[in-house]
Amino acid sequence: MIRPILHRRSRPPARGSGLRPVLLLLALVVSAAILLRPEGRLAEGGTRVIDGDSLRVGAEEVRLEGVDAPELHQTCERAGRPYPCGEAAREALAGLIERRPVSCRISGRDRYGRSLGRCRVGGEDLGAWLVAAGWAVGYGAYAREEAAAQRRGAGLWAGSFERPSEWRQAHPRS
């Protein structure tokens, strides 16, 4: 006996249902583009200083581009005595910001995945200020500010210190 093949009547697709996957895919592509290529984006919001050259701006960690501040646990020497220069750099940056709004122009990412950016508070470039005040050294930028800080004996230049990049090599993360 041969059974007849019964065909189910299919319902026509709901209106707009084909659009949902396209919109979801578009949202994913845009999000990935922002995360992977953050250049030119502005980060703003509540700010917390992490260390002498890193901030949390809103939900985003931003490393200041063009500067290298002592690591948080780094010590330096002044008047023949050690002092916590990494903490001093963080306190200097926090003192400059003092709960004022910070805006950062993101230019890329560093090797740890943090956003790199030039940040400002009250019209002041944070990187230029840190280097000029002697609490960071230039890292491909701010050579004029570094030379002036060195001449004045400002911040780190008031004593002796190991450049942060050299200190990190001697004290690798565990």
The region that residue 153 occupies, defined by phi over 0 for left and psi between -120 and 50 for alpha, beta otherwise, is: left
Q: What is the mean pLDDT of residues 88-101?
A: 95
- Taking residues 7-16, report their average pLDDT: 57
Parse the chain into domains and list their residue ranges: 43-170
Using the structure block, give the residue that is written with the tokens 């917390």.
Answer: 48
Average pLDDT over residues 92-115: 94
The pTM assigned to this predicted structure is 0.77
Give 105-137 pLDDT, tens digit per residue. Answer: 999 999 889 999 999 999 999 999 999 999 999
- For range 144-169, the mean pLDDT: 97
Q: What pLDDT score was predicted for residue 99? A: 87
The pLDDT tens digits of the residues spanning 14-67 come to 555 667 766 565 555 455 444 544 568 999 988 999 999 999 999 899 999 999
Integer Cα distance of 94 and 135 in angstroms: 12
Q: What is the pLDDT of residue 14?
A: 57
Give the Cα separation of 88 and 71 in Å (integer): 10
Check residue 16 and give its pLDDT. 54
Written out in words, the top-level CATH class of the domain with range 43-170 is mainly beta
**Closest to 66 in 3D by CA, of 7, 14, 118:** 118
